[in-house]
């Protein structure tokens, strides 16, 4: 059973959606990521080089979200998962992306995807 590194409630602003209004104004997106990683080496060495540097991965994700425009949350989640899997130590990743207030009477609407190393 792999260990898991979590990134919770990464709140970013993105151009995402299919309507003209959604394409015109940036909207909040909430991102949660679970990295399946064996952290035993890092647990022994206390060295960042022995684990996934979630700070650098998160910076790449922020750059993606801020620089790109998406029509679908599914596409955004797929691209985020691909960034996470660039580090070969990540065995699998689960990405949940939510658009708060995307649907009337719903707090949030979102998608969760899971991808494994070598099968993006």
Neighbours of 85 (CB within 10 A): 21
Task: Report the distance separating Cα 111 and Cα 98, nearest Å.
Answer: 7
Neighbours of 105 (CB within 10 A): 4
The token duo for 56 is 């650098």
Q: Which of 54, 99, 110, 115 is catalytic?
A: 99
Catalytic-residue membership of 99: yes
State the catalytic residues.
99
């Amino acid at each position: 059973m792999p260990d898991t590194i979590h990134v919770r409630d990464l709140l970013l602003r993105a151009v995402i959606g299919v309507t003209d209004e959604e394409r015109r104004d940036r909207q909040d997106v909430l991102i949660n990521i679970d990295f399946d990683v064996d952290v035993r080496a890092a647990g022994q060495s206390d060295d960042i080089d022995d684990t996934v540097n979630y700070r650098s991965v998160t910076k790449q994700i922020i750059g993606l979200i801020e620089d790109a425009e998406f029509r679908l949350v599914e596409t955004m989640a797929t691209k985020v998962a691909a960034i996470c899997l660039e580090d070969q130590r990540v065995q699998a990743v689960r990405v949940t992306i939510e658009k708060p207030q995307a649907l009337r009477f719903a707090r949030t609407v979102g998608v969760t995807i899971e991808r494994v190393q070598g099968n993006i």
